[in-house]
Amino acid sequence: MKQDPKFYVAGVDLGQKQDHSAVAVVDKVDRKFALIHLKQFELGTEYGSVVGYLKLLNENLHDLRRIMIDQTGVGETFMSMAINSGLKNARGIELSQPKKQDVMTFLKHCMEDGLVHIPYDREFMNELNVERFELLETGRLKFSHPPGTHDDRLWAFALAIYYARLEPTEYHPVAAVNTRPSPGNLFPQLPRSIWKR
């Protein structure tokens, strides 16, 4: 029986003092995305340590096609460090408000269509469920999270899925779930059953 080729993509969201740096890896098979690795670094972790972690990840996952790095703010310095360390598959993405909207909207639709598998992790589920959006006068969405919470792993995960979408695949229709989201809540409480493959 022919086995599907592996298609791994990593997403990296950077932080240091107030926000965590986070790495998420997804495995894409056909049109579905499975979260296979999620790492949140302690506050204050030096970027050199994050680059070192990505190098180890790259060596262990031979089919890691791309490492997508949020290069907003400090990301450009980090990108230089990543490229100079030999991470040839690292690419930067500038997360402007329009791009954030594209990235998060794509993730939301994939989740609603049952195309995303996430092993149950209570803290990560909380990150998904507390993320908020606000419609600005420009017509764009602004994303935020309540004080005392974080969304770093969520953005790393969303970046990985957003890039992985680019691989052409065959179309297989799926049934949509959770078609009535709560207003103002980007990822309303989703039933646990959709996390199962």
Convert the pLDDT of each residue in 135-182 to its tens digit: 777 777 777 677 777 789 999 999 999 999 885 443 333 444 444 444
Strands 64-70 and 8-13: parallel
Is residue 35 classed as helix, strand or coil in its secondary structure?
A: strand
**pLDDT at residue 128 in the model:** 83
Please state which CATH number belongs to domain 8-168+175-187.
Answer: 3.30.420.240
pLDDT digits (tens, 9 = 90+) for 18-43: 888 999 999 998 889 999 999 999 99
pTM of the predicted structure, to 2 decimals: 0.79
Strands 32-40 and 22-29: antiparallel
> Taking phi first (over 0 means left), then psi (-120 to 50 degrees means alpha), and beta for anything else, what does residue 72 get?
beta
Q: How far apart are CA 86 and CA 105, in angstroms?
A: 32
Q: How far apart are CA 27 and CA 10, in angstroms?
A: 9
pLDDT digits (tens, 9 = 90+) for 94-147: 888 888 889 999 998 999 999 999 998 888 988 888 777 777 777 777 776 777
DSSP 139-154: S-EEEE--TT---HHH
Cα separations in angstroms, 66 against 1, 24, 27, 57, 143: 27, 12, 11, 11, 25
**pLDDT at residue 84 in the model:** 92
**In terms of Cα–Cα distance, which of 93, 89, 24 is closest to 58?**
89
Query: What are the structure tokens assigned to 74, written together?
Result: 């400090």
Torsion of CA 107, 110, 114, 118, to 10 degrees: -30
First to last CA, the chain: 20
**pLDDT at residue 117 in the model:** 94
**pLDDT at residue 167 in the model:** 59
Is residue 157 classed as helix, strand or coil in its secondary structure?
A: helix
